Structure 1
Amino acid sequence: MSLTGYLSEYSLVEIFNFVQEGNKTGVLSIDSDRCLNRSVDNAYCISFQCGRIVSVTNGLKMSDRGLLEMMAQRQWLSLEQVTGLSVHASRLEQPLGTYLKSCNLLDTEQLKLLFNAQVTANICKLFGEDHHGRFQFDPQASLGYAEMTGISLMAQEVLLLGLRMLRDWSSFSAKLPAAESALQRVSATPPTLRLDTQESKVWKLSLGEMSLVQIADFLKLEIDRVQQIGFRLSAIGLVEEVVLSLSPPIVSTVILPPISTSFLSRLMGFLKKA
């Protein structure tokens, strides 16, 4: 059964997590309202296999030749090879990258470069845009081996890599955790995802006890940097933003020694004579 909705109702982070946690296989199509403007290429097709991203295509004229065109631009294949492969690529029963590697036409490092350019960079671009249109996840859609390098990554890992590459965070300004709030680990178990040094340090301090301002001061980082890291960790389900609980004010109590009855009697007598 396909899942369809509006990006105003479900965030991209929620959709990615849904696909990964359910080990879903299928194609996620994202058609922004801005696609009505033919000068803007912000339609995406993201192919998942068992919750892992295997390919991403972007643009109004998405076809099954995107990967071949990338190889041709890098001059890794001759024009004759590209022409021949374009005829047969749609009939492949394995990822194009895997096939080319078996033919000794591409090596592992080249496939990694292609995967980063095709998948990671496009995910970064995707999250850097404002989307208000529709999305559809179709579990019956053909994955399209012609656009696959043969490499795959967990959706959350690609999401993390894409957000790391993001340079302009202006579209996320309203979604970043507040500087006065705290971060709380979702699990005490160390994450299986490979965090960078700063992400790991922030995760270790995410105990719900320090505000992001305090974490930034402790780690000698800019507050906006810590907010961005907090957003990334939250996006991949490692932490959640919580309101920092304020300790009740400490009221000092002065304990007075007990007053004897005889003293009170003498005091009352003194006051009557005054």
Structure 2
Amino acid sequence: MSSGLFSVDLGTTIGALQIGSLFAIFLFGIVTLQAYLYYDAIPEDRWTYKALVAAVWILELGHTVGVSYEVYNASITLYGKPNELTTFKALGAVIAISGAITLLVQGFFSLRVYRVLSKPYKYIGVFCFALSFIRTVGSIYLTFQAVAARNVAQYNKEWQWLVSSLLVVGTAIDIIIAVSMLWYLGEKRGKGLMRVSTVIDRLIGFTIRTGLLTSISAVALLICFLTMPDNLIWLAMYTFLAKLYSNSLYSA
């Protein structure tokens, strides 16, 4: 990213990052409330589920701190020095945290697919988890590259293919999991009573909403990344993408 860009259009760079961080902090508040309600409403739930909720919340806290630090650094520490805004080290570290959150959430839903579907379809869950794990490894690698990069333009040019691939893979996993659950619920609906069918209809609606929300957001981020690499709109969207995954987990 050229230094001149920041002096010409702060709205699509620092301004976009600030707006993205506001969404991120707002969603973190919702995630925190969801976690509290979960522990308050289901104190007898399995310890593994409790640990999962706690792990995701702790990661989200670190994610939010990283985003907030970078926005403060860009807006306050480097105020009046837009030419020095060439790297975002903290947001580079956030990539790894985001990858870990996505792995936990997609792993949870992959396990659900594995448990509810019969053979051989249950192995769809194994396939999705394997893809998610590979995606997380790629996110960690991108973190090291983001910290080492001299500027955002260099990072975009060298690793555009990998960032795009990870976003596509993440979207594909969400769609596969959602379609698998919809197929399972559709099968159960056809065999259930009216009351059960009503509950299943609600579950189907929830599955569509959660799967579509993360998928559409990832696709929008990818489009911005590919078509507008010289601003920070894509990075602003990335700051709250992981929180959509956490929200879908806590809503499950």
> What is the TM-score with the length of structure 1 in the denominator?
0.24
The structure whose RCO (Cα within 8 Å, separation 6+) is larger is: 2
Q: Per residue, is there more helix in 1 or in 2?
A: 2
Q: Per residue, is there more strand in 1 or in 2?
A: 1
Higher Cα radius of gyration? 1
